[in-house]
Amino acid sequence: MVSGAGKRQRLALRIAAVPMGLLALSCLYPIFFAVNNAFKTRDDYMRDRFGLATQPTLDNFVQAWTRAHLNEYFLNSVIATLGAVILLMVVSSMAGFALASLRFPYRRFLFAVILSSLMIPVQVVLVPFMRTMLALNLVNTHIGLILSYTAFFLPFSVYMMTAFYSGLPRELIEAARIDGAKLLQVWWHVMLPLGMPALVTLAILNTLSCWNDILISLLVMQKHRTLMVGISALKGQYSDQIPLFTAGIVIAAAPIVVLYILFQRRIVSGIAVGAVKG
């Protein structure tokens, strides 16, 4: 009986492996397609779209980087992402500290407002958002994009830091206060270092969101494109040059893939935290 059940279970696993494998393939194949074609010459691609590159070349990368201005776009993306992620970490850590540990009027109400803004998708507020950006002269500026990313990704970050800090013992803050630390010093010396595990996870998740964003940057950075906007524009401009286009895609995806490989474990656990608590 036992071995029969075991056999049946193994069979079930094998059957389940088939759709799983197909799913994995459907994710992996486009990556392979992009990387493979990025190394092809134009003729090589024309002759065989799906075959391996016969005369591998780096020319597409050079072209994409310089002629298609990806270098410029890349820099814009780095500035916006880095700026927003740092700002998000600082602000969410401070807000989380305040919401979790300090007593002030309307604290619960404020937290509820932040939580409810988690439920509003970007698309719904596009018009008022755009009007605000225009009124503040923030369109086409890096600062504008950094602030926009911070605004849109802040509710989740604040929520997560509040949840994290709520789990820390109150006595730590009280001990620091007795030791003579002012509020900002408590934050800097105690809360910020202790929040690092959560903050690193947040930094990674926010980097993914900011780097991959198209919608917000399309609106805010109309003159100077970010990488993702630039790549989608490539599609129109160079529709006959698929190898060039795929080289652009590889350049855009590379930093995120590297980040993913480096912090794989944290990303999974971070998403799990969001899944359970969010």
Partner 1 sequence: MARVELKHVSKSFGSTKVIRDVSMSIEEGEFAVFVGPSGCGKSTLLRMIAGLEETSEGEIFIGGDDVTDEEPADRGVSMVFQSYALYPHMTVADNMSFGLRMAHRPKAEIKDKVGRAAKILQLEEYLERKPAQLSGGQRQRVAIGRAIVRDPKVFLFDEPLSNLDAELRVQMRVELAKLHRVLGNTMIYVTHDQTEALTMADRIVVLRSGRIEQIGTPDSLYQDPDNAFVAGFIGSPRMNFLKATAQAGGRLAVGGREVDSPVRTTLEPGRKLQLGLRPEHLDQNEGIGLEASVEFVESMGSTSFVHATLASGETIIAERRSSQPRAGDKITLHFALASARLFGDDGERIR
Residues forming contacts to partner 1 in the complex (CB under 8 A) are 169, 171-172, 174-181, 185, 189-190, 193-194
* Min dist. Cβ of residue 52 to partner 1 (A): 51
Which residue lies nearer to partner 1 by CB, 53 or 168? Answer: 168
- Minimum distance, C-beta of residue 182 to partner 1, in the bound complex (Å): 8
Nearer to partner 1, 146 or 186 (CB): 186
CB of 196 to partner 1, least distance (A): 8
Yes or no: say if 231 and 213 are a contact pair by the CB < 8 Å rule: no
Tokens of 147: 């602030």
Which of 21, 197 has the CB closer to partner 1? 197
CB nearer partner 1, residue 105 or residue 193: 193
Handedness of CA 171, 111, 85, 262 (dihedral sign): positive
Nearer to partner 1, 121 or 169 (CB): 169
Q: How far is the CB of 277 from partner 1 (least distance, A)?
A: 22
Per DSSP, the residues of 179-235 read TT--HHHHIIIIIHHHTHHHHHHHHHHHHHHHHH--HHHHHH-SSSPPHHHHHHHHH
CA torsion sign for 240, 242, 243, 247 is positive
- As measured in angstroms, the least distance from the Cβ of 184 to partner 1 is 11
Residues in contact with 56: Cβ distance below 8 Å, sequence separation at least 6, in sequence order: 39, 40
Q: Are 164 and 276 in contact (CB under 8 A)?
A: no
